[in-house]
Amino acid sequence: MLAQSCAAWLAEAMTHAITRRGICAVALAGGSSPGPVYQALALPPLWGAVDWMRVHAYFGDERAVPPDDRESNYRMVCDTLLCRVPIPHAQVHRMEAERPDLDAAAAEYAALLPATLDILLLGMGPDGHTASLFPGSAALAELRRRVVPVIGPKPPPRRLTITPPVIEAAREIAVIATGAGKAAMVAAAREGGAEPGEVPARLARRGVWFLDPAAASRLERS
């Protein structure tokens, strides 16, 4: 089962980071695909396999909504994982994308992020976007700033997102994609010659990809 496999990978990667560095800095994804993974991670035996007191949770992107809004990535991750495991509240670092000044919120979150994430978990949309890096976005050319405000093509449009330097620096990356609607972009990101400006998820090509049969159906080696 995809969710269980990805959750087991996460638990092992988190434990490995804690063993080597004493803490684990993990950035979590929103969207529909990661939810079942978080639920599996919050249940025995995986729940007890991680030293949650040594985990710091960050986010790859967030919509400009309050943290209790149904569209909030923070709310989804909290409901499915963070409120079910003994991670200290002070070690959950949410993006405050509901603030009126998104430039200030982005700069402050960039300063909060560690120089290198131990684990970066990403999803992918049917258009090939990952985090809130959408095809053609100016944020894909960002080399200096690590978190920026963006306007996405789908509601709610105003968002904060990490940028390519954060993805490139991450020690471990996992990408979750499910459904036939993502098959073409999975193939383009993994095997095609498209640039990240066309298929942003290609930035995470070196990561471990967790795909269901439908999402993997157009891969040459599927």
Domain boundaries, the chain: 2-211
**Residue among 54, 38, 44, 140 at smallest CA distance from 90:** 54
Please state the rounded mean pLDDT for residues 60-73.
Answer: 97
> What's the one-letter identity of residue 10?
L
> Which CATH number describes the domain made up of 2-211?
3.40.50.1360
In this prediction, residue 221 carries a pLDDT of 64
Structure tokens at 112: 């909060």
Please state the rounded mean pLDDT for residues 26-32.
Answer: 94
pTM listed for this prediction: 0.96
Structure tokens at 41: 């991670």
The chain-wide mean pLDDT, for the chain, equals: 96
Backbone angles phi, psi at 202, to 5 degrees: -65, -20
Backbone angles phi, psi at 23, to 5 degrees: -140, 170
Asked if 54 and 22 touch (Cβ cutoff 8 Å), the reply is: yes
Residues 184, 189, 195: CA angle, nearest 5 degrees: 115
The tally of CA atoms less than 13 A away on the side-chain side of residue 28 is 31
Please state the rounded mean pLDDT for residues 15-20.
Answer: 98
Query: At which residue do the structure tokens 């967790």 appear?
Result: 210
Backbone angles phi, psi at 65, to 5 degrees: -135, 160
Structure tokens at 55: 């985990």
